[in-house]
Structure 1
Amino acid sequence: MSTAATTTSRFTESEERQELRRQVAKLASKYGHEYFTEKARSGGKTTELWLEIGKNGYLGINIPEEYGGGGGGIGDVAAVCEELAAQGCPLLLMVVSPAICGTIISRYGTEEQKQRWLPGICDGTGTMAFAITEPDAGTNTHNITTTARRDGDGWVLKGQKIWISGVDEADHVLVVARAEDARTGKVKPVLVVVPTDAEGFSATHIPVEMVSPEKQFQVFMDDVRLPADAVVGDENGGLVQLFAGLNPERIMAASFSTGLARYALGKAVAYAKEREVFNGPIGGHQAIAHPLAQSHIEVEMARLMTQKAAELYDAGDEHGAGEAANMAKYAAAEAACDTVDRAVQTHGGFGASQEYGMAALLVATRVGRIAPVSREMILNFVSMHSLGLPKSY
């Protein structure tokens, strides 16, 4: 094989991945943005879509086959997430249930835990939420105060979390807590799976402007009693296990953003071709065409970085994946925000109408600059780890 051919193949996804994208896009197009928006505005849920994704094997495509998954990698589930968003059906729980929770349990859960939780994550009947952010800790996850203390053979969980997605749709929540190490007396992070119907567990809905069927919650855990096997994997390996889920979270967030950007760009381009003002389609004017072309370039660069991050993660390169995942998440959020802004401008007054659905995307894409990690913290990470500059916080 020639060098040129080898170089080209490294920047092209496998035929299997491309076919996966086509099939997911075909499935999601049966529902589309109108379905998604109608569910969001009426207070409904996208349960039919979620279960069909699971039935077709796309929901748990990154989870080992012996537990009902597809045996693929994070790049595969990221492709599913992106194609759903590109068809106007951005599902936040794709980021959380299969990617974060599914990855952590697949890697570090006991055999019994895998058998108990992974099949439901794969087929959509056992969705799992993820809870790390706290009201007073914010981005500084080292300052979380939710505690898990031993009580006989089990654990007692106490604390609160905020901005937790989809608690009302989840059977369980994977909670990041702190526990005291019996050997050293120092505090260590632990990951515990909490049933949403457990005594002492409650959630309060947080109203937000984003148009989405998936709601946000503040979660309270008031002396929630849990069995010993509620702790995922090794209770002394919490930090390593936690970061095994955070890099996939950033990769998925990037795919979520690039999918939304592709959806908005597609709508803007279609409108620019059909809308005629001053004796021709507005897309023939550089004031319209150039910003849209710029967005296409920016989105494709973000997609390429996202694919690189996924490939590094699936190859086991934790350091390289951490850097690339943060860069991908940053680039994708920036591209998405700029693309939606340009799409709104392309539509003119119609950009503010519910009929075209562009304005609602302004909030959805803007969230990508904040969650799951802010753009400022990514810049701190790159400054310190990539450039070797002094730590600023």
Structure 2
Amino acid sequence: MSSFSESEERQELRKAVARLAGKYGREWFTAKARSGEKTTELWLEIGRNGYLGINIPEEYGGGGGGIGDIAAVCEELAAQGCPLLLMVVSPAICGTIITRYGTDEQKRRWLPGICDGTSTMAFAITEPDAGTNTHNITTTARRDGDEWVLNGRKIYISGVDEADHVLVVARAEALTSDGQKTGKVKPVLFVVPTDVEGFEYRHIPMEIVSPELQFQVFIDDVRLPGDALVGDEDGGLVQLFAGLNPERIMAASFSTGLARYAIDKAAAYAKERTVFRGAIGSHQAIAHPLAEVHIETEMARLMTQKAAALYDAGDDMGAGEAANMAKYAAAEAACRAADVAVQTHGGNGITQEYGVAGLLVATRAGRIAPVSREMILNFVAMHSLGLPKSY
């Protein structure tokens, strides 16, 4: 008989991360964000305790766990009001791709720092004129002797100012066996130092209250050694999607954590706040919306756990479908939870003091990034239901 409970080890992991994050809390997190400071103290403590690289093999400083473990860490941080966006990027996307496709030397060079938090890696795929259509990215990589030369633009790249390196998705010309151009291009992955000549970035002001900033990146004749290439030059989309499924699972966990935080805040307020007779939580107009979003959040958590289990079992096809569904369900639940939390608080819901209004923007981002809800619906319509492709 299958169990619908997570393993005892996973449950203990959740409790430990919740205790750690609870020492910091939402007020500390938002104060850092509003003052322009970073949450480095929390990030490094997560790393010291072995949670940051829990999905990375032990021989490179990690915990030897899977995506389900790092997703649990991400969710519990968000549930304590400390959502760390770079958890999605550095250990989950970059760490996974390097673990699966990097050389032994690349793993030894980059993974230990990702695990202990002393070296953060950003991920750059989105471009100003491509958006969700990754087939249209125009950042190019061309060979020049033993080196590669990169040129292009990226946008909405998280945490570049905190990163030592960026894993950049580019396109290279495909060649025949005798070195002739075929006229086709292929996706390739490079680790680019953020201090290399020709690499610049510009901050994009955002309404979201977060210590992790967004950037536009400019890549002009950036020269890289041959060993900056991660994976097989002809590996294609398989290597890229090795990081995108974990990205969706982590994004779902990020959203369900925020949803849980919003629901907990609203439920606590509803138990204490009295306006007419009894606490407002005794009134169905307050209680039912909270119950509904709790149900929706728990369903999204289950789908997220399913996606992680499929991915960790090596079922990339099944994980792709489940990860997209989980990301969709989690973002929808989080948006509704934030809205209900604000409404439960009434006028207090839009004050800084009560700390729930900022969740409206934070959760809304989940409907857009890392992949829009519309593209997920396209994916499900085509791959799950067998409907004709619409784009």
Per-residue displacement from partner, 1:273-302 (whole Å, max 9, x unpaired)? Answer: 000011210000000000000011000000
Offset at 1:68? 0.2
Match in the other structure for 1:57: 50
Q: Which amino acid aligns with 2:142?
A: R
Pair 1:81-2:74 in alignment: yes
Cα separation, 1, equivalents of 2:194 and 2:236: 22
Offset at 1:163? 0.3
3-state secondary structure, aligned to 2:130 = coil
Q: Which amino acid aligns with 1:361?
A: L
| Structure-1-length-normalised TM-score | 0.98
Cα separation, 2, equivalents of 1:223 and 1:32: 43
Match in the other structure for 2:220: 222
Match in the other structure for 1:257: 255
Given candidates 294, 297, 300, the residue that maps to 2:295 is 297
Cα RMSD, aligned residues only: 0.6
Match in the other structure for 2:128: 135
Pair 1:47-2:40 in alignment: yes
Q: Which amino acid aligns with 1:95?
A: V
Cα separation, 2, equivalents of 1:241 and 1:386: 23
Pair 1:33-2:31 in alignment: no
Q: Structure 1 residues 238-247 or 366-375, which shifts more?
A: 238-247
Cα separation, 2, equivalents of 1:126 and 1:185: 38
Q: Which amino acid aligns with 2:24?
A: Y
Alignment gaps of 5+ in structure 2 = 177-181
Offset at 1:182? 2.1
Cα separation, 2, equivalents of 1:238 and 1:75: 26
| Structure-2-length-normalised TM-score | 0.98
3-state secondary structure, aligned to 1:202 = strand
Cα separation, 2, equivalents of 1:380 and 1:188: 24
Cα separation, 2, equivalents of 1:182 and 1:340: 51
Q: Which amino acid aligns with 1:46?
A: T
Pair 1:20-2:18 in alignment: no
3-state secondary structure, aligned to 1:59 = coil
Cα separation, 1, equivalents of 2:82 and 2:362: 12
3-state secondary structure, aligned to 1:346 = helix
Offset at 1:238? 3.4
Q: Which amino acid aligns with 1:54?
A: G
Per-residue displacement from partner, 1:218-258 (whole Å, max 9, x unpaired)? Answer: 00000000000000021111311100000000000000000
Match in the other structure for 2:110: 117
Cα separation, 2, equivalents of 1:51 and 1:21: 18
Per-residue displacement from partner, 1:317-349 (whole Å, max 9, x unpaired)? Answer: 011000000000000000000010000000000
Given candidates 192, 202, 205, the residue that maps to 1:204 is 202
Listed as ranges, the matches of 1:96-111 within 5 Å are 96-111=89-104
Q: Detail structure 1 runs of 4+ shifted over 2 Å in the superposition.
A: none
Listed as ranges, the matches of 1:1-393 within 5 Å are 6-7=1-2, 9=3, 11-183=4-176, 184-393=182-391
Cα separation, 1, equivalents of 2:73 and 2:120: 16
Q: Which amino acid aligns with 2:106?
A: Q
Offset at 1:181? 1.7
Q: Structure 1 residues 237-246 or 103-112, which shifts more?
A: 237-246
Offset at 1:130? 0.1
Say whether the 8 Å CA contact 1:129–1:174 is kept in structure 2: yes
Cα separation, 2, equivalents of 1:80 and 1:43: 24
3-state secondary structure, aligned to 1:368 = helix
Offset at 1:369? 0.2
Cα separation, 2, equivalents of 1:319 and 1:80: 24
Q: Which amino acid aligns with 1:327?
A: M
3-state secondary structure, aligned to 1:164 = strand
Cα separation, 2, equivalents of 1:291 and 1:270: 14
Fraction of identical pairs, as percent: 84
